[in-house]
Amino acid sequence: MAQSPTRAADRVDETRLWQRHMAMARLGARADGGVNRQALSDEDIAARRQLIGWAAARGFTCAVDPIGNLFVRRAGRERDLPPVLTGSHLDSQPSGGKFDGTYGVLAGLEVLEALEDARVTTRRPIEAVAWTNEEGSRFQPGAMGSAAFVGRVQLVALRDTVDRAGIRLGDALDATLAATPGLARRALGFPVAAYIESHIEQGPLLEADGKVIGAVTGIQGSRWFAVEVTGEEAHAGTTPLKIRKDALKAAMAMVAALEALMADATDVVRFTVGRFDVSPNSPNTVPGRVFFTIDFRHPDPAVLQRLGDQVPALCAAHARGCAVSVTPTFDAPPTHFTQGIVASISAAAARLGLPHRDIFSGAFHDAKFLAEVAPTGMIFVPCARGISHNPAESAKASDLAAGARVLAEVLAELAEQ
């Protein structure tokens, strides 16, 4: 006979969850309805304080680790067992939406509250976590908090990373930690029993397929590069073309060559130049310096290697007399989530009567790194027309609540193991 849903899933409160999304969206609100809450900014600090306030109001304890990952804990019956973690991130793209990342953190908090409301105890503690700097838009690379947590990157090396205004990550981090005082301190990388992340899909498949829940099977691989082209500033009216070292024209030739390299009739390769800074950015000075980024993704590690390894030589071949440096800033292989967890997510959706399907993620998530240290899975819910990294990002309150109910089921199960 099919099991019935737990009492915790029944206590997920759609209105509370929705209102919290709207409250978070006010922190860094943009005039166009979107959110600009970049990592370790004043807006991020405000969001952290809001989360800490909601947690404290329910008697949950909060802790922070050296990179600012913020943990909200509901104790288990056996207090010293490694916790089951759930969460995502509170930082956004500069022109982000209300749901990317925020949903996973708020769904986690919602489940902690639903467990309280249902008076359900769990053997293990369950913690909702907000990972620091998942987006990687202000400080590169992304998923920094989770990568540092699992030891993939070292915090000491990251501290000297600067944003476009020249602010060091280390200084922004120290300011963020100082602005949220009184939290218990945690070490990086404590043992984790399992990790489940809820997220909007950020693609169109669930909506097109009429499904409410995606049981995520894995995440494609990503490689990022930072390219710096250095030419020579010169007078636009007087300098003959043949003696110019025009950093912009060189960078444009590089991007065109990269576009040709990454061309894929099957539309599986994802290639993006998302940042392009020209200096001095004056109409009548030949550009002396260009900085641009490459974000390149694919599910197949062999393709990631074959195409990605050609990037430095291709840029050098189109330098047109300029100097070029190509620095890899992120290299994450494809991830395959734990099969038993994917199956638990599908089974929970089925118990709750929610249409579901397996799905593979094109976006990366903190779960990518947690999968290296603990059984890990993700729950996707639909977002309108798959739009994300866009102020117009939109999701239905009922779908967000449905995902939180599935999360409640899976967390309750894992926390008894």
Question: Where does this chain bind Mn ion (CB under 5 A)?
Answer: 100-101
Cis previous bond, 382, omega within 30: no
Ramachandran quadrant class, 74 (left: phi over 0; alpha: psi -120 to 50; beta: rest) = beta
6 vs 293 by CB, closer to ligand GLV: 293
Residue 395 CB contacts under 8 Å (≥ 6 apart), including other chains: 99, 103, 200, 381, 382, 383, 384
What is the C-alpha separation between 40 and 89, in angstroms, rounded?
Answer: 12
Residues forming the site for ligand GLV (CB under 6 A): 135, 142, 363-364
> Could you say which of ligand GLV, Mn ion, none residue 44 binds, taking C-beta under 5 to 8 angstroms by partner kind?
none
Residue 224 CA from chain centroid, whole number = 15
Residue 187: count other Cβ atoms within 10 Å of its Cβ: 8
**What minimum distance in Å lies between the beta carbon of 94 and ligand GLV?**
12
**What minimum distance in Å lies between the beta carbon of 297 and ligand GLV?**
8
What is the C-alpha separation between 407 and 64, in angstroms, rounded?
Answer: 23
43 vs 100 by CB, closer to Mn ion: 100
**What minimum distance in Å lies between the beta carbon of 95 and ligand GLV?**
13
> Could you say which of Mn ion, ligand GLV, none residue 145 binds, taking C-beta under 5 to 8 angstroms by partner kind?
none
What is the C-alpha separation between 329 and 158, in angstroms, rounded?
Answer: 11
**What minimum distance in Å lies between the beta carbon of 337 and ligand GLV?**
16
52 vs 363 by CB, closer to ligand GLV: 363
**What minimum distance in Å lies between the beta carbon of 363 and ligand GLV?**
3
Find out whether 368 and 335 touch, Cβ atoms under 8 Å.
yes
54 vs 364 by CB, closer to Mn ion: 364
What is the C-alpha separation between 287 and 251, in angstroms, rounded?
Answer: 10
6 vs 146 by CB, closer to ligand GLV: 146
What is the C-alpha separation between 89 and 48, in angstroms, rounded?
Answer: 10
127 vs 366 by CB, closer to Mn ion: 366
**What minimum distance in Å lies between the beta carbon of 89 and ligand GLV?**
8
Q: Point out the residue whose Cβ comes nearest to ligand GLV.
A: 363
DSSP structural state of residue 73: E
Cis previous bond, 141, omega within 30: yes
236 vs 273 by CB, closer to Mn ion: 273
What is the C-alpha separation between 62 and 134, in angstroms, rounded?
Answer: 20
**What minimum distance in Å lies between the beta carbon of 152 and ligand GLV?**
16
> Could you say which of Mn ion, ligand GLV, none residue 142 binds, taking C-beta under 5 to 8 angstroms by partner kind?
ligand GLV
